[in-house]
Amino acid sequence: MKSFELIVPCYNEEESVNLFYETVSPILYSIDADCSFIFVDDGSRDNTAKLIRELAEKDAKVKYISFSRNFGKEAAMLAGMRMSSADYVGIIDSDLQHSPELIPDMYRAVTEEGCDIAAARRIDRKGEAKIKSAFSRSFYKLINKISDANIEEGAQDFRVMNRKVVNAIVSMPEYNRFSKGIFSWVGFKTKWFEHENRERAAGKTKWSFWKLFTYAVDGILGFSTAPLKISLIVGTFTSIIGFIYALYTIVKTLVFGPDVAGYPSIICAILIVGGLILISLGITGEYIARMYMEVKNRPDYLINETNIIPDEKGNE
């Protein structure tokens, strides 16, 4: 019999964790496979860890991992995938925003229809601020233009994958993990499932506008070096203009003699060029900072507690 594990990252989800389990377990256990949950408590400060432990005591099919602190959803998904040993692995949010009733169809797509990945995409952005939608839409356009990862707009971290894909994702060693990029970068045959955006079942979103913005920046810097090229091009362009202007000034001084006026043009040139230098330095700095973090090679997360025992295959 095939095995299937469903990874559920949870951070401060005490209000939705039980509701999630009650809603999703009948759906999951209806699948004809050896199904289990892997709840990943991402260092929650509320009762989430305790609730998950209680679920595990009641139901032997509930596995859990609890982090020593909040490491972010990317780390939680990675931990789940690393610790999984099943033939098929799924990932779903714990707030019921991802339609759980799609899971059996997604499972069928990877087991019977010859796909490697079944992934969900939302078809609308109902219940989301207009400005937020506009920003995310331009983000997808930009990142697809300047990187070699081709990210579907509206693609979510709600997916079912076979072992090949999980191994590929887990084998990517980077510390700055932008899963949307990694999921698409590894390739493989994907079947898309569309569903409508839903309100959160309970609790509130962990994504502030600022967090989303830095997430977008991470995505671009992680999957493209275009910003470096742009700063090179803009720098070259301004130096050419600067050079032409310098020639003009020299000739003008030789012909008409020095003029005291010209303070505005000098200050403008200094300000513009100074600004451009700082921007390029900043962009370079962002890449260096990321290299610094990669070189340090710190673990992606630290586990405080888990009930997953490493199996004989050597998987954790």
Is 207 among the residues that bind ligand UDP (CB under 6 A)?
Answer: yes
Using CB under 6 A as the binding rule, the residues of this chain from 2 to 41 that contact ligand UDP are 9-11, 13
Using CB under 5 A as the binding rule, the residues of this chain from 40 to 79 that contact Mg ion are none
Cβ–Cβ < 8 Å for 7, 80 = yes
**Residue 29 interacts with which of ligand UDP, Mg ion, none, CB < 5 to 8 Å by class:** none
Helix residue spans in the chain (DSSP H): 17-29, 48-58, 73-83, 103-111, 130-146, 163-170, 179-185, 209-223, 226-256, 263-296
Side chain identity at 3, as an amino acid letter? S
- Per-residue contact string for residues 124-143; x = within reach of Mg ion by CB under 5 A: --------------------
| Pick 25 or 94: Cβ nearer ligand UDP | 94
Using CB under 6 A as the binding rule, the residues of this chain from 218 to 257 that contact ligand UDP are none
User: What is the number of other CB atoms lying within 10 angstroms of the CB of residue 200?
Assistant: 15
Q: Where is 4: in which H helix or E strand? A: strand 3-10
Least distance (Å) from ligand UDP to the CB of residue 13?
A: 5
DSSP code for 102: G
- Applying CB under 6 A, among 53, 82, 121, 206 the residue interacting with ligand UDP is 206
DSSP code for 309: P
Is 149 among the residues that bind ligand UDP (CB under 6 A)?
Answer: no
For tokens 């910003």, the residue is 227
**Residue 42 interacts with which of Mg ion, ligand UDP, none, CB < 5 to 8 Å by class:** ligand UDP
Using CB under 6 A as the binding rule, the residues of this chain from 67 to 86 that contact ligand UDP are 70, 72-73, 76
Least distance (Å) from ligand UDP to the CB of residue 205?
A: 3
Is 195 among the residues that bind ligand UDP (CB under 6 A)?
Answer: no
Q: Which of 233, 212, 210 is nearest to 283 (CA)?
A: 233
**Binding span for ligand UDP by CB under 6 A among 58-66, 89-97, 175-183, 236-244:** 89-97
Three-class secondary structure assignment of 156-172: EEEEEEEHHHHHHHHCC
Q: What is the pairing mode between strands 155-162 and 88-91?
A: antiparallel
Is 94 among the residues that bind ligand UDP (CB under 6 A)?
Answer: yes
Interaction site with ligand UDP (CB under 6 A): 9-11, 13, 42, 70, 72-73, 76, 93-95, 97, 205-207
